Amino acid sequence: VYLVVFHLSFVMFVWSYWKTIFTSPASPSNEFCLSKADKEQYEKEERPESQQEILRRAAKDLPIYTTTASRAIRYCDRCQLIKPDRCHHCSACDICVLKMDHHCPWVNNCVGFSNYKFFLLFLMYSLLYCLFVAATVLQYFIKFWTNELPDTHAKFHVLFLFFVAAMFFISILSLFSYHCWLVGKNRSTIETFRAPTFRNGPDKNGFSLGCSKNLREVFGDEKKYWLLPIFTSLGDGCNFPTRLVIMDPEQLTVSSQNEPAKSSGANQSFPPRPLSESQNRLLASDSQWVESGPEEENVKSGSLHHNTSDDS
């Protein structure tokens, strides 16, 4: 039984680790890129308010419900695209990553929409693997302290193995518990330190739909695949349902079935309005935007060590 559990946990650990490392971070589709004409006009403009007008016009048909802290459209000068909600630019990968959580040096990859489930499973199976190793070595560790273990060099190996497994278990347990809390709240690590800004202002719970729905958004609807490192996350990484923060009776009475979906390409379509449990559309009115320059927002918290050069 021990061997079966050992091999099973080791195989799932390696599989999850492999998927976390070699799954490419998902980037925004071409729909979020400026057209050639808009890009040339944007680069020629020197006034920030004129640049924002170009971005606002280009983003009016996109499913974007968050802004910068200064109410400007989130735009990446490096990738030259309008950022979808929860998308951030990673300075290490030098790309915009959909639903970016952080750049992890342990896997040399960005953890985001495409591999967040794999990262969680990697932590879970690492935790189980360390627990199994510590539990199987515990009896020899007790014998070492009671001087019942034969006086051989192997006793130092036992001591080293137990302490390493125990320390990794404690470290991974804290990280795994933190990410479980994030899944329950439907937040990324970046959003924990810098709340997304909606129409009514910053709201750290803006994307939370309840613990059950938040869990399904990451792991999918079919529970039989939850423990397997197979991609089952819901959505496309660009469009996320949000809490109904502002009750707009006019919009709530509009039936989305009477409006055709706006196409973003051959294999993707975006709804013209938010999903049924969503924030009201921010780009519906010109008056919602104020003239402002590019956002220069720095994270004040010293505990945010993730490698990202994103503005918002």
Indicate which residues carry an active-site annotation.
104
Beta partners for 247?
A: none
CA 199 to chain centre: 21
CA-CA distance, 147 to 225, in Å (whole number)? 47
Tokens of 216: 């399904």
Give all strands (DSSP E) within the chain, no chain letters: 75-76, 81-82, 88-90, 95-97, 102-104, 109-111, 197-198, 201-202, 262-263, 269-270
Task: Spell out the residues 6+ positions from residue 257 whose beta carbon is closer than 8 angstroms to its own.
Answer: none
Q: What is the dihedral of CA 16, 204, 199, 219, to 10 degrees?
A: 30
Task: Mention every residue, 6+ apart, whose C-beta is less than 8 A from residue 29.
Answer: 238, 264, 265, 268
Inter-residue contact 207 to 240 (CB < 8 Å): yes
CB atoms within 10 A of CB 12: 20
- Alpha carbon 125 to chain centroid distance? 20
